[in-house]
Amino acid sequence: MSAEDRQPDELLRTEGLAKVFGRGKDEVRAVDGVDLALARGEVTALVGQSGSGKSTLGRLLLRLMDPSAGRVVFDGRDVTAVRGAERRDYWREVQAVFQDPFAAFHQYRRVEATLATALQLMPSGTDGRALMEASLASVGLDAAETLAKRPHELSGGQRQRVMLARALMLRPRLLIADEATSMLDASVRVTVLNLLADLRDERGMTVLFVTHDLGQAYYLADRIAVMHRGRIVESGPAERIVAEPEHPYTRSLLADVPKLHRTA
């Protein structure tokens, strides 16, 4: 790693990142040359409609799949090809919560066992019980009430908070929240959005908030990157993107915001 590779304000950046699925006429350029920088301690929202490539980009950042081209640089270190023990180390720094927390749970597994899976990434000798209790408390859940429950005994909002608690046990520096609020009803959604804002404000956590909803992005994010057909078509401070959108696609997303809220 060279000294100039480490930008002080930048926790993660991608350079020309691409993912192509299929071949010939079936080829899909799901991520098509993305340069994205995530500033430390900020929430960046990645906004785009279904199929724009947001989840694929998220999976590339998490090292859950190999890119077709380009690089991922985390804290000045090239992590594009990390695997094995190095990739597990990376996952202590970068954690994710996904859209459907029910799918992420084992149906019959109690919350305690779900949270314990995070301990596999931690040094031996870690006081797992204390960590679980603290992490559940940080998302507003009571350990005594929650640890013995199975997924179907929890509400959607509680399940999402358990998954957030699991991610937070590792004290990641970057949290990727991929449509993490889209299945929640409006009041629970605001609670989870505020929780993400608190993680930024109190812990200085960097968050990539992936959503199709520009309204939620504006509510939470410092910066917004708009994704369309695998490319970032526009990015900048959230106020600027919403007040003075430059790209026609951003304008069309903005036009949808009142509609989304009327149907919510």
Strand, coil or helix: 2:
coil
Strand bridging mode 94-97 / 77-78: unpaired
**Least separation, in Å, of the C-beta of 256 and ligand ATP?**
14
| Binding map of ligand ATP across residues 121-160, x = CB under 6 A, - = no contact | ----------------------------------------
- In the bound state with ligand ATP, the residue whose beta carbon lies nearer, of 27 and 153, is 27
Rounded to 5°, the CA angle 224-226-232 comes to: 115
Lay out the sheet containing 206-211: strands in order across: 94-97, 174-178, 206-211, 43-47, 223-228, 231-237
Q: Closest by alpha carbon to 65, among 130, 12, 21?
A: 21
**Least separation, in Å, of the C-beta of 242 and ligand ATP?**
20
**Least separation, in Å, of the C-beta of 66 and ligand ATP?**
12
For ligand ATP, the binding residues in 37-96 under the rule CB under 6 A are: 48, 50-56
**Least separation, in Å, of the C-beta of 141 and ligand ATP?**
27
| Binding map of ligand ATP across residues 164-203, x = CB under 6 A, - = no contact | ----------------------------------------
Residue 245 within binding range of ligand ATP, rule CB under 6 A = no
For ligand ATP, the binding residues in 6-45 under the rule CB under 6 A are: 21-22, 28, 30
Taking the C-alpha atoms of residue 62 and residue 88, their distance in angstroms, rounded to an integer, is: 11
**Least separation, in Å, of the C-beta of 65 and ligand ATP?**
8
Taking the C-alpha atoms of residue 26 and residue 163, their distance in angstroms, rounded to an integer, is: 35
For CA atoms 103, 183, 49, 14, the dihedral sign is negative
- Please give the structure tokens belonging to residue 44: 């960046």
- Tell me the C-alpha to C-alpha distance, in Å, between residue 119 and each of 37, 83, 92, 97, 234: 30, 19, 10, 16, 39
Considering CB under 6 A, how many residues would be counted as binding ligand ATP?
13
- In the bound state with ligand ATP, the residue whose beta carbon lies nearer, of 99 and 135, is 99
**Least separation, in Å, of the C-beta of 52 and ligand ATP?**
4
Binding site for ligand ATP (CB under 6 A): 21-22, 28, 30, 48, 50-56, 212
